[in-house]
């Protein structure tokens, strides 16, 4: 994915990418680093087509951080690359909040290594043993005689939690480097020939769907064969084993004509889902859209 300086500015600024103006609404969005670039692109497009000035701030920090900020009443929308936990929902209920859940897109978590690593595929079990520290040398999984370097996210990241649950099925190796962002993982892999990390699919491919330069995507060897996160059919059919939904959460059901409601409907629209695809993720299925429509029907 390639992003302009203006888009990067939109991701951290309270000023709309369409330009500032008096009397406009301000939306604050925070959470999953997986979603920062995607939601920034959506915010930019929404601000440009909106008839009124809407100032949108989009920031990262991790899914847990975003949800905590939502529960504390600090933001309008929490980005999360995992479902809200039962404990978080209990906290919301205790505060009298009626949590709204919106499905933003589909993602395929991808294993990435340096291009010089000759490994061609891994089973889910092998990936788990790499990240829990059981496998310490690449030769144990068919690679070169070299030590394994692990790169993952911080514990506030939804991707950290999802990968631990879906792949590691235990605790991460203490030697894993906990990176502040997904982009930091990608940057590290490009310079570490023995490294392996994980990233959302939007971070590992270019606008045309081709693999990003400087990294190598490792397909997963399953009972159905070797499957790739770049194959949309395999992701949507469930054959790719570490696919997931990515979400946005609200602390209440919004008013039907509010900026929040209009922004969510824009994200679910054909234009919004085209941006989802252009930024490297996968658009919603008919079932996902149906669930969102049910949520939209609750708007006052």
Where the chain has pLDDT below 50, the residues are 1-23
pLDDT per position as a tens digit, 199-237: 999 999 887 778 899 999 999 999 989 999 999 899 988
Nearest to 51 by CA among 11, 21, 76: 21
Tokens of 71: 């529960």
Q: What pLDDT is recorded for position 2?
A: 40
Q: What is the pLDDT of residue 37?
A: 92
pLDDT (0 to 100) of residue 206: 82
pLDDT value for 8? 38
Residues 6+ positions from 76 with CB-CB distance below 8 Å: 27, 28, 29, 250, 260
What pLDDT does 1 receive?
44
């Amino acid at each position: 994915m390639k992003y302009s300086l203006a888009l990067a500015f939109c991701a951290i600024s309270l000023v709309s990418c369409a330009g500032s103006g008096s009397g406009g609404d301000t939306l604050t969005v925070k959470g999953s680093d997986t979603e920062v670039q995607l939601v920034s692109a959506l915010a930019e497009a929404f601000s440009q087509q909106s008839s009124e000035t809407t100032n949108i701030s989009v920031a990262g920090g991790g899914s847990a951080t975003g949800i905590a900020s939502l529960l504390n009443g600090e933001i309008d929308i929490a980005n999360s690359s995992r479902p809200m936990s039962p404990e978080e929902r209990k906290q919301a209920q205790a505060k009298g909040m009626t949590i709204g859940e919106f499905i933003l897109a589909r993602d395929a978590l991808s294993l990435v290594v340096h291009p010089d690593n000759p490994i061609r595929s891994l089973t889910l079990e092998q990936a788990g043993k790499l990240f829990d520290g059981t496998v310490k040398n690449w030769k144990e999984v068919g690679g070169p005689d070299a030590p394994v370097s692990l790169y993952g996210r911080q514990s506030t990241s939804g991707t950290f939690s999802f990968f631990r649950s879906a792949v590691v099925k235990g605790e991460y190796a203490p030697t894993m480097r906990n990176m502040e962002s997904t982009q930091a993982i990608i940057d590290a892999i490009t310079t570490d020939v023995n490294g392996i990390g994980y990233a959302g699919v939007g971070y590992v491919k270019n606008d045309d769907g081709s693999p990003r330069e400087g990294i190598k995507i490792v397909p997963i060897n399953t009972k159905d064969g070797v499957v790739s996160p770049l194959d949309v059919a395999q992701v949507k059919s469930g054959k790719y084993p570490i696919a997931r939904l990515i979400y946005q959460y609200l602390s209440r059901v919004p008013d039907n004509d509010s900026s929040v409601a209009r922004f969510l409907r824009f994200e679910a629209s054909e234009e919004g889902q085209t941006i989802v695809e252009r930024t490297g993720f996968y658009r919603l299925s008919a079932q996902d859209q149906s669930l969102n429509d049910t949520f939209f029907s609750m708007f006052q």
